[in-house]
Amino acid sequence: MFHFIALSVAVLMLFVARFYSPRHAARAGWAVAFLVPTWLALVVGAADITVRCVVALMAVAVVVVKPRQFAFAGFSWIDLLPVVIVVTAAISTTLNDHFSPTVILSLLAQWVFPYMLARLILIHDQDAIDFVPLAATLALLLAVAMIFESVADYNLFNTLLGHEGSTQGDSGHRLGLKRAEAWFGHPIYAGLVLALASPWVLTQTYQSYWGRGSKFWLIAPVILTMGTVATLSRGPCMVLAGVVFGLLWYYFPPIRLFSLFACVIAIALSIVMVPTMLKMADAIENSDGIHKIKIEGETYTYSGTRHRYLLFAVYKKPLSQVGWIGFGNWGTLPKHEAMLEPHLRGLFLSVDNHYLLHYLNTGVVGSIAFLLLPIGIFVAFLRQRATLTQKTEFLLVALLSSVMATSVVIVTVWMAEAYSFAFLFNSGCIVGLLISARRSTAVVARKARRLPTLQSHPMSTPNQYTSF
């Protein structure tokens, strides 16, 4: 099946590129990548070649079909960061004697291809406006599928494709509902993909509110929220809330001071009430997964929520020996797993904290490379917030909010390819929109605007490249 779908994607994208344009082909490829199950892959050595990987490679190939129709807007220093992440991970892997060409391919597929696809799709503001309806429609389709799965307790996609669902999706019911995972292989991954896609839905709703689309989209945020909640996972709900909060923070200055006080109070309460909050979180989990374990002779209560909290105690020894380059075992963990107490190895094989896992794998150097990505995007946005174009300001703020919220939530989950694709894609979209804004001649006030009154801004000539 993988070969058939991959060939079909290649033919489709080449056809669209030939008769339309490379950007249209990349959009079509993105749509296919969004709808094809993430677990459908071809294993080549240490790499899982997914349909998404094929789409990203084809996105580069279709530019060759009509190179004159693809005027790249310019580059940013942020474009180098995904490459730097891959290089640091590859060096770490090589120095730990686990190098292979397929490892490099796997790293490129996770960290570079999604970002590159976004940069190819969004060149000018109008590209983003044209892409919004497609992205919003597919995101809403995912939300509806997840609502149905949770309520009906049935995953249609796994049944049709003969795929065994995850343990969390099939038996990890919460509050009497199934944890929806759609075609993403895990409830958390599906929820994070949907939350990261929320900026497109909210932008379409915003446009419709001001008369630039069907009134149906006014109820889309409700469907989006229900779909995210259908995962019964806290992380995706936090990202969606972060997107909404980011928009409110940006467009309604009076709430900023209040929200700062609220955050300080929330942090203080969370520190004081950690035991109570953990018990409340345990209450919605399956009681069969809660039991006592011993770590270095001390007894702890274990649960899905406490798993993240206990990682630092379990991995105390490996963390002390990481060094500058880490252990280099991308996703396999044999070196630092061997340092764990034998009875804890199976239980804590999953390192549900991306920062911790990235540090173990790539050390200090790799961790700095990853941290520079969200920090660099945020700093670039702050530097250019006064030059944002009216067409895409709302979308840009929503995309930035989704990336920053996810950067917080990955403290509780490792960055699997299933949703890292959406994270890197959003990051690439932000950089593309910032470059487009920098090239625009107009400077606008930083407040909410009515989209119907927006006017197109003249673009700079193609040879005016910009870097920020």
pLDDT over 70 (residue 211): yes
Max Cα distance, the chain (Å): 68
Domain count for the chain: 1
pLDDT over 70 (residue 172): no
Please state, for a pLDDT cut of 90, what percent of the chain lies above it: 29
pLDDT over 50 (residue 274): yes
Rounded mean pLDDT of 170-192?
83
pLDDT over 80 (residue 220): yes
pLDDT over 80 (residue 66): no
pLDDT band of 465, cuts 50, 70, 90: very low
Q: In Å, what is the CA distance from 303 to each residue of 166, 220, 284, 357, 383? A: 18, 34, 11, 19, 43
pLDDT confidence of residue 449: 46
Averaged pLDDT of the chain: 81
pLDDT confidence of residue 54: 87
Rounded mean pLDDT of 440-467?
42
pLDDT confidence of residue 64: 77
Question: 58 in a domain, yes or no?
Answer: yes
Question: 300 in a domain, yes or no?
Answer: no
What letter does residue 352 receive in the DSSP assignment? -
pLDDT confidence of residue 414: 86
Rounded mean pLDDT of 366-394?
88
Q: What range defines the domain where residue 57 resides?
A: 1-70
Q: Which of 143-157, 253-267, 370-384 comes out lowest in average pLDDT?
A: 253-267
Rounded mean pLDDT of 305-310?
75
CB atoms within 10 A of CB 417: 20
pLDDT over 70 (residue 386): yes
Rounded mean pLDDT of 195-202?
96
pLDDT tens track for 394-424: 999 999 999 999 999 999 888 888 899 999 9
pLDDT over 80 (residue 9): yes
pLDDT over 70 (residue 127): yes
Q: Three-class SS of residue 186?
A: coil
Question: 349 in a domain, yes or no?
Answer: no
pLDDT band of 278, cuts 50, 70, 90: low
pLDDT confidence of residue 141: 95
Q: Three-class SS of residue 182?
A: coil
Q: In Å, what is the CA distance from 275 to each residue of 91, 269, 284, 316? A: 41, 11, 15, 22
Contact in structure between 354 and 415 (CB atoms under 8 Å): yes
pLDDT over 70 (residue 203): yes
pLDDT band of 333, cuts 50, 70, 90: low
pLDDT band of 305, cuts 50, 70, 90: low
Question: 397 in a domain, yes or no?
Answer: no
pLDDT confidence of residue 455: 43
pLDDT confidence of residue 459: 40
Label residues 289-305 b or e (16+ Cβ within 10 Å = b). eeeebebeeeeeebbbb
Q: In Å, what is the CA distance from 39 to each residue of 100, 179, 253, 277? A: 22, 18, 43, 34
pLDDT confidence of residue 395: 94
Q: Which residue has the higher pLDDT, 427 or 89?
A: 427
Q: Which residue has the higher pLDDT, 297 or 206?
A: 206
pLDDT confidence of residue 229: 94
pLDDT over 90 (residue 375): yes
pLDDT over 70 (residue 331): no
pLDDT over 60 (residue 330): no
pLDDT tens track for 83-119: 999 998 888 888 876 777 888 888 888 899 999 899 9
Contact in structure between 191 and 231 (CB atoms under 8 Å): yes
d(CA 87, CA 152) in angstroms, rounded, equals 45
Q: Which residue has the higher pLDDT, 345 or 380?
A: 380
pLDDT tens track for 132-159: 999 999 999 999 999 999 998 888 888 8
What letter does residue 124 receive in the DSSP assignment? S
Question: 34 in a domain, yes or no?
Answer: yes
Q: Which residue has the higher pLDDT, 133 or 391?
A: 133
Amino acid at 102: T
Q: Which residue has the higher pLDDT, 445 or 342?
A: 342
Q: Which residue has the higher pLDDT, 379 or 175?
A: 379
Orientation of helix 187-209 relative to helix 220-229, angle to 10°: 170
Q: Which residue has the higher pLDDT, 204 or 392?
A: 204
Question: 26 in a domain, yes or no?
Answer: yes
